[in-house]
């Protein structure tokens, strides 16, 4: 189990975090109090050109000085501070959440068409793969941020004062860890650069997917399956520049017998995707919502073993595990429906 | 006795169910629950001759293990309404999520519009009076009647959209799935087969169609013909020899 909800305002009108907190808390039954988190886009307008690096430090002595060292070699820290938090009686503070607003020196990365993003990706992988003990980067996009911890949705939201952030996209997740322990880094959303992922279910093809992303320069370090989805989206979406529809087709493709029934053009396309991106195919039960700066996409596994409900109201698109959660955020929501297995639901910013 | 009113706004399902049970034990025959939003397990394990009117969108497992009551929902339902229900009736004025009537063993579930995936999964029947009936007014999704062991599922397809799912009756070894319109062989699950829908079949399901239509004030006339496809188990033991050799 696990509860997920995502919302986009396609005209980029901002919402504070109070609505999504309430919606996620409604799905408390889907969690176990061992992980909850939020991602919000558009929250750092004063630093919109900087990568906001959110880092869990075990303490602010050795781990932080090592992180300071490495990131200042690769770029300039425009501003840094402890992420404001408020103690909650039911939430144990296991780490110090910190944020840097960071601008990479783009001339340091050779042979890359997107040197700034590749520097940030390199730093995230370097810090997280245990070279620096006691530091974990959990958010690294521009003008966006992830806030997560081990706790119930409401406690985590109040801990990070989620109500005070204003974003045009929000994702939220309530965790019921089943295969690996609950810990701060294992809470969702998982993020790399601008990609954030919330996920209900488990990815039984994890080994194949992990080998595929690790052979492309990513390192899985969070002891849970979902992070691989963030890296797959970065690889297929950013590096290979595939649109979301095609990424979803690669991850949750039609069955071969369905492909056989398609017209020539569709069949060729679907065959090509399956053959090229076989190692990106994900098996097992899942419902996923992924966000990036210009939109969100929700989809389920191809035999629909997890729930996903969609609702629309004006410029807002909601994707969630439960209709009641959407109605909590927006009682006036219209057009409630359930997408088919593997069918992408896409909300894009229109500007 | 006057109907009992309960306001469920902001109420967790435990105190909500306690209020419902108290009302039933005090002899209520009609309970109206307003402002329902996401509360799971409503009327679970409840016994008695009572009608519960649920206004809003209840959470999953409505009427699980229920034995006798009638639940009338004005709104959509989440997953598995009628889960392992023993007897009674659930009437949904809207749509419902995945696994509707999961493991249901008696009584009726009527859904006015659509249901999600795996409707009627593990439905079973036994004895004279345990024969569950699931009727869907519009459409269902893939794996309808998965592992079904008994009872009847009827899909009326009121909007004339053809059933586009796959894996119908996957692993079925008892009961009947009756779909309005045609079904292609490739849409069948393993262990399921299509048989002719006969006049006798129509005679058998007519009372259920009439009762369903009566619940939603629909004219049953257009559904009382033989334009259905019937799906049953391909043999009495479709999986004999799958795991052991005899």
- What are the domain boundaries of chain A? 3-202+289-348
The nearest CA of chain B is from the CA of A175 a distance in Å of 18
User: A7: distance to nearest CA of chain B, Å?
Assistant: 18
Residue of B nearest to A261 (CA): B186
Q: How far is CA B141 from CA A301, B53, B90, B127, B177, in A?
A: 14, 27, 20, 29, 13
Instruction: Say if B38 falls within a structural domain.
Output: no
Quote the pLDDT of residue B246.
58
Which residues in chain A have their CB less than 8 angstroms from residue B78's CB? Answer: 307, 322-324
Number of domains in chain B: 1
Instruction: Report the pLDDT value the prediction gives residue A131, as an integer from 0 to 100.
Output: 77
The CATH topology of domain A3-202+289-348 is 3.60.20
B66 confidence band (pLDDT: 50, 70, 90): very high
- Name which of B104, B133, B146 is nearest B231 in CA terms: B146
Pairing of strands B192-195, A286-292: unpaired
**Chain A residues with CB within 8 Å of chain B CB:** 26-27, 29, 255, 257-258, 261, 303-304, 307, 309, 322-325, 327-328, 336, 338, 340-341
Catalytic residue, from A2, A187, A193, A317: name it: A2
Q: What is the DSSP track for A238-286?
A: IIS---HHHHHHHHSPPPHHHHHTS-HHHHHHHHHHHHHSGGG---SSE
Residue B226 lies in a domain: yes
Residue B212 belongs to some domain of the structure: yes
A304/B116 CB distance under 8 A:
yes
Predicted confidence at residue A110, as pLDDT, reads 86
Task: List the single residue in B40, B98, B167 with the smallest CB-CB distance to A29.
Answer: B40
Of A304, A307, A323, nearest to B76 by CB-CB distance is A323
Which residue has tokens 């065959």? A271
Pairs of residues, one from chain A and one from chain B, whose beta carbons lie less than 8 Å apart: 52
Domain assignment of residue B222, given as a range: 95-233
Which chain B residues have any C-beta within 8 angstroms of a chain A C-beta?
37-38, 40, 57-59, 76, 78-79, 95, 97-98, 114, 116-118, 141-143, 166-167, 186
Averaged pLDDT, B176-199: 96
- pLDDT greater than 80 at residue B237: no
Domain contains B143: yes
Whether residue B67 lies inside any domain: the answer is no
- Per-residue pLDDT band for B236 (boundaries 50, 70, 90) equals confident
Nearest to B78 among A255, A303, A324 (CB): A324
Identify all chain A residues contacting B76, using CB atoms and an 8 Å cutoff: 323, 336
Q: Is the peptide bond before A189 cis (omega within 30 degrees of 0)?
A: yes
Q: Could B78 and A307 be called an inter-chain contact, meaning their C-beta atoms sit closer than 8 Å?
A: yes
Closest CA to A139 of A75, A15, A62, A43: A43
Distance CA A200, CA A309 (A): 13
**Residue B168 with chain A: CB contacts under 8 Å:** none
Let me know if residue B180 belongs to a domain: yes
Tens of pLDDT, residue by residue over A105-139, are: 999 988 888 899 999 999 999 999 977 899 999 99
Give B40's contacts in chain A (Cβ within 8 Å): 29
Which of A257, A324, A336 is facing B38, going by the closest CB pair?
A: A324
Q: Identify the CA nearest to B86 among candidates B109, B104, B70, B111.
A: B104
Tens digit of each residue's pLDDT (9 = 90 or more) over A4-56: 999 999 999 999 999 999 999 999 999 999 999 999 999 999 999 999 999 99
Has residue B139 been placed in a domain? yes
Rounded distance between C-alpha atoms, residue B47 and residue B32, angstroms: 17
B79:A338 CB<8 A: no
Asked whether A299 and A335 are in contact (CB, 8 A), the reply is no
Q: Count Cα atoms within 13 angstroms, Cβ side, for B173.
A: 8
If you average pLDDT over residues B110-122, what whole number do you get? 98
- Minimum distance, in Å, between the CA of residue A298 and any CA atom of chain B: 17
Its pTM surpasses 0.90: yes
Active site residue A220: no
pLDDT computed for residue B1 by the predictor: 80
Report the CATH number that the domain containing residue B190 is assigned in CATH: 2.160.20.60
Q: CA of B169, closest CA in chain A: separation in Å? A: 14
* Residue B10 forms part of a structural domain: no
Q: Do A341 and B142 touch (CB under 8 A)?
A: yes
**Count of beta carbons in the 10 Å neighbourhood of residue B10:** 7
pLDDT bracket for residue B160 (50, 70, 90): confident
Q: What's the mean pLDDT when you consider all of chain A?
A: 96
Residues on chain B touching A309 (C-beta within 8 angstroms):
97
Give the model confidence (pLDDT) of A197-252 as tens digits.
Answer: 999 999 999 999 999 999 999 999 888 899 999 999 999 999 999 999 999 999 99
């Amino acid at each position: 189990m696990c509860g997920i909800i995502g919302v986009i305002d396609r005209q980029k009108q901002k919402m504070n975090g109070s609505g999504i907190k309430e919606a996620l808390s409604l799905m408390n039954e889907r969690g176990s109090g061992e992980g909850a988190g939020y991602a919000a886009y558009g929250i750092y307008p004063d630093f919109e050109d900087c990568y906001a690096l959110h880092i869990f430090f075990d303490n602010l002595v050795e781990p932080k000085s090592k992180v300071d060292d490495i990131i200042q070699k690769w770029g300039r820290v425009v501003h840094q501070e402890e992420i404001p938090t408020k103690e909650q009686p039911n939430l144990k503070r296991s780490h110090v959440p910190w944020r840097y607003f960071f601008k990479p020196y783009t001339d340091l990365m050779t042979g890359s068409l997107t040197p700034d993003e590749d520097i940030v990706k390199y730093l995230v992988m370097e810090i997280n793969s245990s070279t620096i003990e006691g530091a974990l980067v959990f958010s690294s996009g521009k003008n966006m941020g992830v806030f997560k911890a081990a706790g119930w949705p409401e406690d985590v939201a109040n801990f990070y004062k989620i109500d005070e952030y204003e974003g045009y996209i929000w994702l939220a997740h309530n965790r019921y860890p089943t295969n690996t322990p609950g810990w701060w880094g294992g809470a969702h959303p998982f993020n790399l650069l601008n990609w954030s992922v919330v996920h209900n279910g488990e990815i039984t093809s994890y080994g194949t997917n992990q080998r595929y992303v690790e052979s492309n320069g990513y390192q899985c370090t969070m002891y849970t399956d979902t992070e691989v989805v963030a890296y797959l989206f970065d690889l297929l979406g950013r590096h290979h520049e595939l649109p979301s529809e095609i990424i979803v087709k690669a991850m949750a493709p039609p069955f071969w017998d369905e492909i056989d029934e398609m017209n020539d053009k569709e069949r060729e396309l679907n065959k090509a995707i399956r053959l090229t991106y076989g190692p990106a195919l994900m098996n097992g039960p899942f419902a996923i919502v992924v966000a990036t700066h210009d939109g969100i996409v929700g989809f389920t596994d191809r035999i629909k073993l997890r729930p996903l409900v969609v609702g629309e109201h004006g410029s807002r698109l909601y994707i969630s595990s439960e209709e009641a959660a959407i109605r909590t955020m927006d009682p006036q929501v219209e057009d409630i429906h359930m997408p088919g297995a593997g069918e992408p639901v896409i909300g894009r910013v229109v500007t | 006795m006057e109907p009992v009113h309960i306001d469920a706004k902001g109420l967790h399902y435990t105190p909500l169910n306690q209020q419902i049970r108290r009302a039933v034990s005090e002899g209520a025959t009609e309970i109206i629950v307003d402002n329902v939003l996401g509360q799971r397990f409503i009327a679970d394990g409840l016994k008695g001759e009572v009608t519960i009117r649920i206004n809003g969108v209840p959470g999953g497992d409505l009427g699980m293990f229920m034995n006798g009551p009638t639940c009338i929902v004005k709104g959509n339902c989440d997953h598995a309404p009628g889960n392992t229900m023993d007897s009674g009736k659930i009437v949904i004025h809207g749509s419902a999520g995945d696994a509707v009537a999961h493991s249901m063993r008696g009584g009726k579930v009527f859904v006015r519009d659509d249901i999600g995936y795996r409707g009627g999964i593990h439905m079973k029947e036994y004895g004279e009076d345990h024969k569950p009936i699931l009727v869907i007014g519009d459409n269902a999704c893939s794996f309808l009647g998965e592992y079904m062991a008994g009872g009847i599922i009827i899909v009326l397809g009121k909007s004339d959209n053809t059933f586009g799912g796959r894996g119908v009756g996957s692993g079925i070894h008892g009961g009947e799935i009756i779909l309005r319109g045609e079904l292609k062989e490739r849409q069948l699950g393993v262990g399921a087969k299509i048989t002719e829908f006969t006049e006798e079949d129509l005679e058998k399901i007519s009372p259920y169609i009439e009762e369903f239509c009566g619940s939603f004030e629909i004219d049953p006339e257009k559904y009382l013909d033989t334009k259905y496809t019937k799906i049953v188990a391909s043999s009495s033991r479709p999986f004999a020899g799958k795991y052991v050799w005899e």
